[in-house]
Amino acid sequence: MWKGRFKEQTAELLQQYSESISFDWRLWRHDIEGSIAHSAALEAAGLLSADERASIVAGLREIGGEIERGDFQFKRELEDIHMNIESELTRRIGDPGAKLHTARSRNDQVALDLRLYLRAESDAIVERLAAIQRELVALGSRHSEVIIPGYTHLQRAQPVYFAHHLLAYVEMFQRDVERVVDCRKRINVLPLGSGAIAGSTILLDRELVAQLLDFPAITQNSMDAVSDRDFAVELLSALALVAMHLSRLSEDVILWASSEFKFITISDAFTTGSSLMPQKKNPDVAELTRGKAGRVYGNLVSLLTTLKGLPMTYNRDMQEDKEPVFDSIDTIKAALAVFAAMLGGIRANPENCAAAVGDPNLLATDLADYLVNHGVPFRKAHEVIGKAVALCAERRCELTELSLADYQALSPAFEADLFEMLTVENSMAARRAIGAPSPQNVAFQLNRWSSRLGNEN
Amino acid sequence: MWKGRFKEQTAELLQQYSESISFDWRLWRHDIEGSIAHSAALEAAGLLSADERASIVAGLREIGGEIERGDFQFKRELEDIHMNIESELTRRIGDPGAKLHTARSRNDQVALDLRLYLRAESDAIVERLAAIQRELVALGSRHSEVIIPGYTHLQRAQPVYFAHHLLAYVEMFQRDVERVVDCRKRINVLPLGSGAIAGSTILLDRELVAQLLDFPAITQNSMDAVSDRDFAVELLSALALVAMHLSRLSEDVILWASSEFKFITISDAFTTGSSLMPQKKNPDVAELTRGKAGRVYGNLVSLLTTLKGLPMTYNRDMQEDKEPVFDSIDTIKAALAVFAAMLGGIRANPENCAAAVGDPNLLATDLADYLVNHGVPFRKAHEVIGKAVALCAERRCELTELSLADYQALSPAFEADLFEMLTVENSMAARRAIGAPSPQNVAFQLNRWSSRLGNEN
Amino acid sequence: MWKGRFKEQTAELLQQYSESISFDWRLWRHDIEGSIAHSAALEAAGLLSADERASIVAGLREIGGEIERGDFQFKRELEDIHMNIESELTRRIGDPGAKLHTARSRNDQVALDLRLYLRAESDAIVERLAAIQRELVALGSRHSEVIIPGYTHLQRAQPVYFAHHLLAYVEMFQRDVERVVDCRKRINVLPLGSGAIAGSTILLDRELVAQLLDFPAITQNSMDAVSDRDFAVELLSALALVAMHLSRLSEDVILWASSEFKFITISDAFTTGSSLMPQKKNPDVAELTRGKAGRVYGNLVSLLTTLKGLPMTYNRDMQEDKEPVFDSIDTIKAALAVFAAMLGGIRANPENCAAAVGDPNLLATDLADYLVNHGVPFRKAHEVIGKAVALCAERRCELTELSLADYQALSPAFEADLFEMLTVENSMAARRAIGAPSPQNVAFQLNRWSSRLGNEN
Amino acid sequence: MWKGRFKEQTAELLQQYSESISFDWRLWRHDIEGSIAHSAALEAAGLLSADERASIVAGLREIGGEIERGDFQFKRELEDIHMNIESELTRRIGDPGAKLHTARSRNDQVALDLRLYLRAESDAIVERLAAIQRELVALGSRHSEVIIPGYTHLQRAQPVYFAHHLLAYVEMFQRDVERVVDCRKRINVLPLGSGAIAGSTILLDRELVAQLLDFPAITQNSMDAVSDRDFAVELLSALALVAMHLSRLSEDVILWASSEFKFITISDAFTTGSSLMPQKKNPDVAELTRGKAGRVYGNLVSLLTTLKGLPMTYNRDMQEDKEPVFDSIDTIKAALAVFAAMLGGIRANPENCAAAVGDPNLLATDLADYLVNHGVPFRKAHEVIGKAVALCAERRCELTELSLADYQALSPAFEADLFEMLTVENSMAARRAIGAPSPQNVAFQLNRWSSRLGNEN
C-alpha cells in the first residue's frame, strides 16, 4: 500500500512485530462507519460519482457483514484494520476503492475509529455502572433493617445500616458515571479531515462528516488532532477509579464473607471450591476483582508512559494505545457485570450482624455526646469516656455494665437516663443530619436511588 | 487528645512515623476557615454562645496570622494541623476551644480541608495553563510567517506554520483546563458533618456550613464522605496529562534547539552551561520538565495504589494522600510558570526553518493530490509518487529536479503546470479545511486565541 | 561557574526550578569523599603538588565538619552540592580549589556520589531487614505453642502454627536481603574518570581512585557510565518488593487486631486513638505501612518514566533521580524500624486463637487424606468429604458431630479410628515434609533463624 | 472437581470471569513435567504402584503430544491448565489419574509451573540479550573509524567513536543479563510439596522431586511457598530495565535516522511507509520498541498493585500474575529479536557523521585542558574558553577561526602549538583512561566483546 518508494520487501520479522490487525480488528465497525461518512464528503467534493460512492458503501457493508459473521479473512501483511478493509474493498470494486483514501491518512482515520469506539463503550460502561448501583440498592432494600458495625481502621467505630454502607458505593459509582460522561465530551470530537498532520490540499467538508457521524464538535488543529490521545488516557483514569472502588467493595465482601465476620453469605453459584480442601467456599469474584485493579492501573501507566516525551505529531509508538484501552474496558465491563450478578445472590446474616453491632463500645461516642448535651465541653467528654472504656478493659466488662456510680465518679454530669439513652436504636434515630444514617435518611436514600435507577420494588 | 483509654505513652518512634504536621501544615488556612464555619453551626445549634463563638473566631484568626508570619510553633506530638490548631486555641481561650470539635471528627475535617485546598489550587492551575497558552500564542504571533517541516515518526512529513505547531499545544492545554474544571465540580462538595463515619447524634445545620464555605453541594452519605479521595486522584490524573503535554512540548523544544535542527534559540537566561565543557548551552528547562513527568505519573500511581483494596471507611493509609497531591500541584505550577517564561525568550531562526522546509520531499503528498485532481485514483497516485521518490533516491536528486518527461513516464496525467504548483506557498494556501494550516486558518486561530486569552497585540 | 559564554544572567525562575541543593545536600559526605580521592589522582598525575592537595583535603574536611554540625550555608544560586562545596573550597584556599575539577565533570561526579550513597544505604537496609526478621522470630518463639487457622482466600483453610505464619515473612525478608545484596554488586562500580561523556584528554589513574574508594570494579564505557541509573532503578525495585511484603504483613496484623479475629493485641505504645470516638485503638503502624506501598511503588514508576526514551547520554531529566531514591530509602528504613518495634510489643491471645482453630472444617483435608490412606483415590476422597461438609451445613453441625454411620454412608472406607485421628494435634504432627508446619519443623526453623540472626534466647 | 459441598451450579458468568485456561494453557509443558515428577514421589511413598505411575506418565505424555500438535481441546469449565490436564488424564486412565492430586494443591502446583516456565524463559531472554549485543558490536566493527558527536542534553558535547556509543548499550544489556541471572537463582527453588498452605499429612520426598526437576533448592516454609510471587515481580523489574534501555537506543536510532542528523540509514526491510505521504520511510521498529516500554512498565505496576496488601496466603487475586508476565516476556523477546535484526541492516553515513563531528565547539573542553596543561587552574581555563566561545558567537565564526592573538588576549598561556593540537584525531588519541574512547580503547572493547559474545570476524 505504501511500497512505491521501497526496494526491499518488508522483513517478515517486522511484519509480525508491527502488525496491529490481531487486536485492532475490533474497530472494524467504526472503520466502516467512518469510511462511509468520508465517502459522502468525497462525493460532495466531486471526487466520487454517486455510483462510485454507492459501490463503496455497498462493498463496505458487505465486508462488515462478513466480519460480523466471522467469515472475513484478516491478513497480517496488510498490517491493520484500515488496510485490510480498504484493500479488500478495492479488490472487490476496483477504482472507487482506490479513491477512498483520498484526502485521508491512517493518522486521522485511526483517531476517528478510536473515538467512535470509545464513545460507544463509554455508554456501555455507564449502563453497567447503573446496573451495579441497582443491585447495591436492591441488596440494601432486601435487608433494610440490618445494622452492622461501621469500621474505621478496621476497628469497630459506630453502628450503621448495612444499606447505608452499600449506599456509599452507590455514591462512588455515581461519580464514576459523571467522570465517564465528562470524558465522553472530549471523546466526541471529529478528527477526520486532519490528514497525516496538515489536512489536505484537497478540500473536504468536515462539517458534513461531523453531522453524518453525529459529532457535535470538530478538532481545530490538524497536528493536535492526529497526536491527541488524551481522551483515551482520561478514560483509562476514570476506569482506574472504577477499579479502585470495586477493589474496596471486594475487600468488604471478602471480610464480610469470612468465618470471623460472617455478615453475609454468597450463593454457591458465585463462589468456588478448592482442588485440595473439601470444605472451602471462596469468594473468588471479589478476589479476582480486587486483583484486577492491578491490570487497570497498569494499563493507565502503560499509555501514559508511551506518550511521555513523544515529539509532535504521530509516532508509531502510539499504536500501543489500543491494547491497554481494550483491556481496561473489557475488564471493567466484565467485573461490573459479574459483581452485579453476585450481589444479587448475597444475603445478609441478621443474627451475626446483630451480635456484632451489640458491642457496646460502638456507642462510646454517643456517651460523649450525652455529656456534651449536659454541658460538658467535647474534649473533656471525650476524655471521660476514654477513661470509662479503660475501666471496662481493666474490669473485663462492657460500657453497659458500669454502674451509674461508676459513671458519676468519672463525671458528675451523668444522670440516670444514661442507660435508656444507650441503645443502638437511639443512636441511629439521632443521626438525622444530611447524609447520616438515621432510619429515615437511609430509607429516603434507598427510595431516591431506586427511582433514579429504575429499580423494581 | 485521644489518650483517655490508653495507659502507655505513644512510642516516640510511632510519633515520628505517624505525624503529618511536617507536611499538612500547608492546610492551615483551610483548617481555620473550616473551623470558623463549623463554629457557626455549633452556635446555631445552641452548643456555643455568641461570645464563645466570637472568642473561637478571634483565636483562630490570631493563630492564622501567626502561621502566616512564620511565628507559630508546630508540635510534632500533636500529630497534625487539626490538633495543632485546636490544642493551641484551647490553651489560649479555654472551654470554648474544647467545644469546637463537637460533632466533628478529623475524618470529615481533613476531607474538608483537602477539598478547600484543592478548590483553590485548581483555580491557580487553570490560570497558569492560560498563561502558557498566552505565551504559545505570542510566540506564534511573533513568527507568524515562519514555516517548518511538520514531522511524523520524526521524519519530515508536510510543511506547517511554526505557529500551527504551537497552536496544537494551545489546544492540549485547553483540554487540560476543561478537565481541571470538570474535576473541580467534584471537589466542590461539602463533607463536613459526616463525623467519623456516621454523622453525629448532635444535629448540625450542614446547609449553613455549605453556604458559609461557598459549597454548592453537600455529600449524601457519611461513610462515603470520609473515605472518598476520588477528587484527589482525579486531579492527579488531570495533572498527569498536563505533565505529558509538557513532556512533548519539551521534546520539541529540545529538538528544535539542537545543532541539527536549530529552528529556535533559547535566551541565555533560560539555559545553563556545563561545569566541564565551556561551549555548552543546554535547554535545561525543557529537559527538567520532560523528566518531571516521572514524578507526576509516580504520584498518581502512589495514590491509586494506596487506595487499592482498602475496606470502608477511613483507614490511616489515607494519610498518604497529601504528599503526592502537594508534589504534583507544586511541580505542575512551577513547570507551567518557568516554561511560559522561557517561551517568552525563544526566537525562531527563520533561515534555518526556511532551509529545512525547502526539502521538496515535503510536497510529495501534494504531487499525489495533483494526480487525484487529474483523475488518478489516490492509491495509484500514491504509488506513482512513491516511484518518483525512489527515482530521486537513485539519482541522488530532488523531486523538483525530475523533468516533466520523467514524471510523464510515471503517469501520463502529469502536465506542464506541475512545477508551478509544486511550491510550499501553494501547498499552504490549499490547506483550507477546518483545522488545517492555510495562512488564513492559522491567522484566524492566532486571533481567536489571542482574544480569548486576552493576549496583548 | 559555567558562565563564560553567557551574556544574560540566569533567570531567577530557572534557578529556583533547576536547583538541586535543597535535596542533594544529603550527598555531601560522599561528594567530599569522592573529591579527596580525585585529588589523589590529580596529584599522582602531577596536576597538583603535594601541598596543593593537602590544602584541598584539609579544606574539604573543614567544610564537611561544618556541614555535619549544621554550620554550613548552602546557596541556591550554586545549584547543587558539587558546586556549593567546590565554590566554597576555592573561596577559602584559592587556586588549588580551582584545579580540583580538572578532568572531571559533574556528570561522573554525581554518578560517583550517588553510588557511594546507595552503597552505604544498601548496607543499612540489610541491617534493618535483619532486625525485623529477628523480631518476627522472637514473636514466634514467645508463642511457639499457639496454633491459628491458616487462610487462603481469607477463608479458613488448615491449622498452622502462629510462628509458622510469621516465619513465612522471615523468608520473604531474606529474599529482600538477597536482592539488595545482588543490587549492591552493580552499585559498587567506579564511574569517576568518565568525564562528561568521553573521559578526558588529561590522563588520570582510575585504578588508584577505585582503590581509595574501595570499589572492586570500574566502569568500562564512559558514555554508559554517565547515563547509567540502572542501579538506582534496581534498588527501587527491590524496595518495592520490601514494601509489598510489609503491606501484606500489615494486612495480617490489621486483621488479627480486629474485634472479629482478636488473635493479637498491640501495645498501647504502638496504637493511636480517635479524636472523636473514645473507645478506638487503631493499628496505625500497620495501616500507614500498608499505605506507604503507594509511595514506594510510585517512586519506582517515577524513575522508570523519567529514564524512558532519553537519548544518550546525560540529560538534565536525570536530576529527577534523587528524590524518589531518597524517599524510598527513608520510607523503607522507617517502616522496618517502627514495624520491628511494634512487633516487640505484640502478644497473641491464646484463647481466641484456640477457639478459631477449633473449627473442625480445618481438618476436612485430613479426612480426605485419611481416605487416601485407606485406598481411596484422592479425587474421590475429596468428593466424599465435600459431601460430608454439605451434610453438616444442612444439619447445621460440625464435621466432628457426624456419626461413624454418617461417614460410612458416604464411603465404606471409614473406620472407627476416624475420630481419634481427627484432632489438630494429629494434623500438625503429620505435617513433617520440608517446609510444612509440624511442631518439629517449626521449632527447627525458629532455631535455625535465631542462630542465623543472632537472636537472644 | 471441587463440587462436593456445592448445591448450585457455578454461574456461567463466573466461569467466564474466573477461567484462566485461555492464557495459562501456555504452562502445559511445565504442568506435565511437574506432574511426572510428583508421580515419582507418590510411587516412592507407596501411594502409586509402578504400573499406575507408568500409566500416568504415558497418559501425560500423550496429552502433551496432542497439545503440542494443537489437537487437544481445552475446556473453559475446567478452569485452568491443571484441571484440564488432570481431568482428561483421569478420563483416559481412570483411578491412577484420580490419585495424581494426592498431597498436592493447585496452589503449589501453579507455583511450580510458573517457576519452571520462568526458568526456561530467563534463559531464552539471556540468549536474546547476547544476540543484540552481538549485533551492536558487529555494527560498531563495521564502522570502526566513524566518529560522531557525543551529546549531553542533546547538545553536541565531545567527539566519540560511533562504536563507543554502541558499546555503551552493550554494557547496559550486559547488566540486564546479570540481573536476569540473579533473578533466576530465586526462581530456581522447588515449591511443590507445600500443599495448599500447610504441606500435607501425607509425607512425600521433596528432595526426590527437586532432583528430578533439577532444582538446587527447596522452599522452607509452606505458607510462603504458595503466596510468593517475588520472582515474577523481580523478573518484570529486570525486563522493565531492558525496555528502558531499548527505549533509549530507539530514541538514538530515531534521531540518527532523521533528515536533520542523517548519521545512519536503515534498510528498507526494517522501515515502513505512509498510507498518505509517498516519500515517507519511517523507523517503525525503533518507535514501536520505544512505545512498548509503556506496556512493560505497566505490567510491573500491574503485578505489584495486585500483590499489595494481600493477606496470607494464596488469594485468587494472584491468578492475575500470569498475563503481565507472559506479555512482558513476549514483548521483550520480540523487541530484542527484531531490533537485533534491524541493527544488522543499518549502515552509518560517514560523510554526514564527519560533517557533524567537524564542529569545532566539540573541542572546547580540549582547549581548556590545553590551558590546564599550561598551568592554568581548570576553573579559570573553563572561563577563558567560555569567553572564546562567546567571542565566536559574536563574530559568527568558529573556534578554529580565532587568531592566536585573539586567544592570547584571553589568556597569555596560549602558544602557537594550539592549532595543531586542536583536531578531532588528537582529541580521541588522548582519551586513553579506562573506558574513554581512544582508538586503542575502542578497538580493545570491540575485541573483548567480540570474543566474549562469539562474534564472527
> In the predicted model, what is the mean pLDDT of residues D22-39?
98
Q: Which residues of chain C have pLDDT under 50?
A: none
- Mean pLDDT rounded to a whole number for chain A: 96
The residues of B carrying an active-site annotation are: 153, 274
Q: Which of B7-11, B67-71, D389-393 shows the lowest mean pLDDT across its residues? A: B7-11
Per DSSP, B258 falls in state S
Active-site choice (C49, C144, C258, C274): C274
Give me the phi and psi of B191, to 5 degrees please: -95, -20
Amino acid in position C61? R
Q: Could you tell me where the DSSP H helices lie in D345-434?
A: 350-357, 364-373, 378-395, 404-410, 418-421, 424-430
A31: left (phi over 0), alpha (psi -120 to 50) or beta: alpha
Chain C residues in contact with D304 (beta carbon < 8 A): 240, 244, 297, 300
pLDDT for res A1: 63
- Closest partner residue to D278 (CB to CB) among B156, B301, B386 is B386
- Closest partner residue to C6 (CB to CB) among B101, B273, B338 is B273
Size of interface A-D (CB pairs under 8 A): 240
Q: What are the CA-CA distances from residue C42 to residues A438, C47, C49 (Å)?
A: 79, 5, 9
| Confidence band, pLDDT 50/70/90 cuts, at residue B201 | very high
pLDDT for res A240: 98
B278–D368 C-beta distance less than 8 A: yes
Q: What is the CATH number of domain D12-102?
A: 1.10.275.10
A304–B297 C-beta distance less than 8 A: yes
Express each pLDDT in A43-63 by its tens digit: 999 999 999 999 999 999 999
C194–D436 C-beta distance less than 8 A: yes
pLDDT above 70 covers a percentage of chain A that reads 99
Indicate if C153 belongs to the active site.
yes
CA B179 – CA A185 distance, rounded (Å):
10
How many angstroms away from the CA of C86 is the closest CA of chain B? 11
Query: What is the CA A354 to chain-centroid distance, rounded?
Result: 33
Amino acid in position C277? M
A107-202+216-355 homologous superfamily:
Fumarase/aspartase (Central domain) (1.20.200.10)
How many angstroms away from the CA of A131 is the closest CA of chain C? 27
Express each pLDDT in D352-363 by its tens digit: 999 999 999 999
B390–A193 C-beta distance less than 8 A: no
Chain B residues in contact with C319 (beta carbon < 8 A): 288, 291
For residue B153, what is the nearest residue in chain D, using CA coordinates?
A: D282
A369–B172 C-beta distance less than 8 A: no
Chain C interface disruption, residue of A268, A277, A303, most C CBs within 10 A: A277
CB A353 within 8 A of CB A363: no
B273–C2 C-beta distance less than 8 A: yes
pLDDT at A457 over 60: no
pLDDT for res B1: 63
pLDDT above 90 covers a percentage of chain B that reads 93
How many angstroms away from the CA of D71 is the closest CA of chain C? 26
D365–B277 C-beta distance less than 8 A: yes
Active-site choice (D22, D144, D258, D274): D274
Per DSSP, A381 falls in state H
pLDDT for res A274: 86
- Closest partner residue to D251 (CB to CB) among C311, C366, C382 is C311
pLDDT for res C4: 74
- Closest partner residue to A17 (CB to CB) among D10, D294, D334 is D334
Chain C interface disruption, residue of D434, D442, D445, most C CBs within 10 A: D434
For residue B339, what is the nearest residue in chain C, using CA coordinates?
A: C14
pLDDT for res D457: 54
First to last CA, chain A: 60
For residue A325, what is the nearest residue in chain D, using CA coordinates?
A: D295
pLDDT for res C1: 63
C200–D433 C-beta distance less than 8 A: yes
pTM of the complete model: 0.98
CB B418 within 8 A of CB B407: yes
CB atoms within 10 A of CB A142: 14
Query: Is residue B447 exposed (0-12), middle (13-18) or buried (19+ Cβ within 10 Å)?
Result: middle
pLDDT for res B311: 98
B278–C5 C-beta distance less than 8 A: yes
pLDDT above 90 covers a percentage of chain A that reads 94
How many angstroms away from the CA of B379 is the closest CA of chain D? 9
Chain C residues in contact with B280 (beta carbon < 8 A): 2
How many angstroms away from the CA of B140 is the closest CA of chain D? 23
pLDDT at D456 over 80: no
| Confidence band, pLDDT 50/70/90 cuts, at residue D277 | confident
D388–B278 C-beta distance less than 8 A: yes
Asked, colleague to colleague, whether D107-202+216-355 and D359-453 share their fold, the answer is no
B278–D385 C-beta distance less than 8 A: yes
D2–A275 C-beta distance less than 8 A: yes
How many angstroms away from the CA of C164 is the closest CA of chain D? 7
Chain C interface disruption, residue of B281, B304, B306, B343, most C CBs within 10 A: B306
- Closest partner residue to A206 (CB to CB) among B102, B384, B434 is B434
CA within 13 Å, CB half, C150: 34
Chain D residues in contact with A274 (beta carbon < 8 A): 2, 105-106, 196
| Confidence band, pLDDT 50/70/90 cuts, at residue A69 | very high
**Where do the structural domains in chain C lie, given as residue ranges?**
12-102, 107-202+216-355, 359-453
Q: What are the CA-CA distances from residue C127 to residues A418, C130, C173, C189, C238 (Å)?
A: 55, 5, 11, 22, 15
Question: Which chains border A (3 or more CB–CB pairs < 8 Å)?
Answer: B, C, D
A159–B201 C-beta distance less than 8 A: no
Q: What is the CATH number of domain C359-453?
A: 1.10.40.30
For residue C300, what is the nearest residue in chain A, using CA coordinates?
A: A301
How many angstroms away from the CA of C323 is the closest CA of chain B? 9
Residues with Cβ within 8 Å of A438's Cβ and at least 6 positions away in sequence, in order, are: A428, A429, A430, A431, A432
Express each pLDDT in B218-272 by its tens digit: 999 999 999 999 999 999 999 999 999 999 999 999 999 999 999 999 999 999 8
Q: B183: closest CA among A238, A31, D180, C318?
A: A238
